[in-house]
Amino acid sequence: MTNLPLTANINDNRDAVDMAAYEANGGYQAMKKAVLEMSPADCLQTVKDSGLRGRGGAGFPTGMKWSFVPMENVSEGHKYLICNADEMEPGTFKDRLLMECDPHQLIEGMIISAWTLQADVAYIFIRDEYHLATRLLQEAIDDCHAKGYLGKGILGSDFNLEMYVHSSAGRYICGEETALISSLEGKRANPRAKPPFPQISGLWGRPTIVNNVETLCNITHILRYGPEWFKGLGLGEDAGTKLFGVSGRVKNPGCWELPMGTTVRELIEVHAGGMEDGYKLRGFLPGGASTDFLVEEHLDLAMDYDVIAKAGSRLGTGTMIILDDKTCVVGMVKNLVEFFAQESCGFCTPCRDGLPWTAQVLDDIQLGKGRPSDMQTLTDQARFIGAIGNTHCALAPGAMEPVTSALKYFADDFQAYLGGQAAAAADTQDGGT
């Protein structure tokens, strides 16, 4: 038994673990146990009991998400499991590690999940740039077919599962689960209104579950070691471990598997080696580019979903971006908003038109062409674009989180530009990552 199950097979050279090595380490035992010894209902209960929450950013309890998939009286047709491997959140590079180093871990998790949901077709919807992972996953799928772990009558049971790797066309919005489904159907990658939820009407109108890579990887271990063990891994209120990352002006940027509930301070100071010499920490985006800034006073918070939420931000993907004292806040925020404006699918007005407008205001401010009334414009944008429900999906509200929080914590930086003191402001280099 290990305390860091997700990366247990991964060595410092990040060699990919092949089928033989994976099985030698006990791989596919959990799958066999689930398919041969456990009912789908038992598996679902196990996942529910584990307290696993989605690792893609929203942190929704996985067992509960699955429980909405109809298991009885389902009309004839497929059920789908989709692995969301379209990792495009700025500053986030955790799923890549899992797929490039231990592809079988993901596939085993997916087979167990598909068994639990009684899905007979699975897709890995992967970011196009992840060429290595795409190749390794396809090889792993082929190996599974050879072994009878995929295909018809898995392990001699009557369980069938086909699995496909689908390379994304390369848009951030494809990571939104319903946009992903639209894209997979060959349509514009526009998100869909909910309800109906994908569990009821998803891919091709059929019951569908979309889970993040890391979430599905955890399933393997939960089934292997049990829910109690999984819950015990977390330090605080959340269960399991998590891949955390830190980028920005730190000595040792990177990605580590750590228990849920590890403090921000430990992440930055111990694992990331603290700030680079000559740089001071001003704030951080705790869970990727679409989360609110937190600041020094939050350093001792535990990286748990609800703890970070209570502080006014989101745990997100758990991969943190650091703001230092020599990076222009306005520039950094503008850079992020421009990214999200570019990645808007163009469907709903607040996102499509509101984000470029916000970026334009930030640009004017940074170029010294801002007006005092721009602060009100930004506040309005934060209010109108920034609330879930005002927009068609969560992209724009996420995009506005750094803006809203920057206005809260770093209003002086904006005012400095507006007061005609552009030159006096710290450093006018563009921020971001």
Partner 1 sequence: MATFYIDDKAFEAEDGENILKACLSLGLDLPYFCWHPEMGSVGACRQCALVQYRDEEDTRGRIVMGCMTPVTDGARFSLQGEAPKEFREHIVESLMLNHPHDCPVCAEGGECHLQDMTVMVGHRDRRYRGKKNTHRNQDLGPLIHHEMNRCITCYRCTRYYQDYAGGRDLAAQAAHDHVYFGRHEDGTLESPFAGNLVEVCPTGVFTDKPLVNDYTRKWDMQSAPSVCNSCAVGCNTLPGERYGKLKRIHNRYNNEVNGYFLCDRGRYGSAYTNDESRPGYAGLRNKDGSYDAIQSSQAIKTVADWCGSDKKVAAIGSPRASLESNYLLRHLVGAENFCNGMADNESQLVGRIQEILRDGAVSTPSIRQVETADAILILGQDVTNTAARMALALRQSVRNLARQMAADMHIPLWQDEAVRNLAQDRLSPLFIIATGATPLDDVAEQTLSLSPAEIARFGEAVTAELNGTSASSELDDQAAALAKRVAEALSAAENPIVVSGTGCQSLDVVNAAASVAHALKQDSRMLSYCLPECNSMGSSLLSNQDASLAELGERATRDDIDCLIVLENDLHRRAQNDQIKALLENAGQVVVLDSNVTATMSTANLVLPTTTYIEAAGTLVSSEGRAQRHYPVYLPTEERQPSWRWLLQLGQFLNRDGFDEWEHFDQVTAACAADITALAKITEASPSADYRDHGLKVPRQSHRYSGRTAMLADISVHEPKQPVDDETPLAYTMEGSNSKDKPGALLPYVWSPGWNSNQSLHKFQSEAGGALSGGTAGIRLIEASGSENIASSKTDPDPLPDGHWQLVPAYHIFGSEELSAQSPAIAELIGIESIQLNSVDADRLGATDGDLLHIESNGQSLQLAAEVNDSIASGCAAYRAGLPGGHWIAPNCGATISKAKPGGDHA
Query: Is there binding between residue 183 and partner 1 (CB under 8 A)?
Result: no
Q: Applying CB under 8 A, which of residues 360, 379, 415, 428 lies at the interface with partner 1?
A: 360
Cβ closer to partner 1: 14 or 383?
Answer: 383
Q: Which stretch binds partner 1 (CB under 8 A): 4-12, 295-303, 324-332, 343-351?
A: 343-351
Cβ closer to partner 1: 50 or 199?
Answer: 199
Distance CA 316, CA 32 (A): 32
Helices and strands counted in the chain (H then E): 17, 9
7 DSSP 8-state letter = G
Dihedral sign for Cα 179, 184, 188, 189, please. Answer: positive
Q: Which stretch binds partner 1 (CB under 8 A): 185-193, 244-252, 314-322, 402-410?
A: 185-193
List 162's β-bridge partners, or say none.
Answer: 121
Judged by CB under 8 A, the number of residues near partner 1 is: 38
Query: Is there binding between residue 67 and partner 1 (CB under 8 A)?
Result: no
Q: Applying CB under 8 A, which of residues 8, 200, 375, 426 lies at the interface with partner 1?
A: 200
Rounded to the nearest whole angstrom, what is the least distance from the CB of residue 403 to partner 1 in the complex?
Answer: 15
Q: Applying CB under 8 A, which of residues 39, 342, 421, 429 lies at the interface with partner 1?
A: 342
Q: Confirm if 214 and 232 have CB atoms less than 8 A apart.
A: no
List 294's β-bridge partners, or say none.
Answer: 284
Residues 6+ apart with CB under 8 A from 410: 282, 283, 293, 329
Q: Applying CB under 8 A, which of residues 126, 141, 184, 341 lies at the interface with partner 1?
A: 341
∠ Cα 44 45 48 (to 5°): 90
x/- letters, 15..44, toward partner 1 (CB under 8 A): ------------------------------
Residues 6+ apart with CB under 8 A from 256: 243, 244, 245, 267, 271
Q: Which stretch binds partner 1 (CB under 8 A): 31-39, 148-156, 194-202, 253-261?
A: 194-202
Query: Is there binding between residue 349 and partner 1 (CB under 8 A)?
Result: yes
Cβ closer to partner 1: 194 or 408?
Answer: 194
Query: Is there binding between residue 375 and partner 1 (CB under 8 A)?
Result: no
Rounded to whole angstroms, what are the CA distances from 28 to 89, 105, 113, 361? 30, 8, 13, 54
Query: Is there binding between residue 347 and partner 1 (CB under 8 A)?
Result: yes
Distance CA 167, CA 202 (A): 19
Distance CA 37, CA 191 (A): 38
Rounded to the nearest whole angstrom, what is the least distance from the CB of residue 264 to partner 1 in the complex?
Answer: 31
Q: Which runs of consecutive H residues, i.e. helices, occur in 16-175?
A: 19-24, 29-32, 40-50, 62-67, 94-101, 103-117, 131-147
Query: Is there binding between residue 156 and partner 1 (CB under 8 A)?
Result: no
Edge-to-edge order in the sheet of strand 319-324: 254-259, 241-247, 319-324, 281-285, 294-295
Rounded to the nearest whole angstrom, what is the least distance from the CB of residue 417 to partner 1 in the complex?
Answer: 15
Query: Is there binding between residue 379 and partner 1 (CB under 8 A)?
Result: no
Distance CA 315, CA 254 (A): 17
Q: Which stretch binds partner 1 (CB under 8 A): 16-24, 196-204, 320-328, 407-415?
A: 196-204
Rounded to the nearest whole angstrom, what is the least distance from the CB of residue 48 to partner 1 in the complex?
Answer: 25
∠ Cα 127 131 133 (to 5°): 80
Q: Which stretch binds partner 1 (CB under 8 A): 33-41, 111-119, 158-166, 344-352?
A: 344-352
Could you say which residues in the range 161-180 bind partner 1, by CB under 8 A? Answer: 171
x/- letters, 294..333, toward partner 1 (CB under 8 A): ----------------------------------------
Cβ closer to partner 1: 189 or 250?
Answer: 189
Buried b (16+ CB within 10 A) or exposed e, 51-67: bbbbbbbebebbbebbe
Distance CA 107, CA 115 (A): 12
Q: Which residues bind partner 1 (CB under 8 A)?
A: 171, 185, 188, 192-193, 195-196, 200-201, 204-205, 341-350, 352-357, 360, 364, 373, 377, 380, 384, 387, 389-392
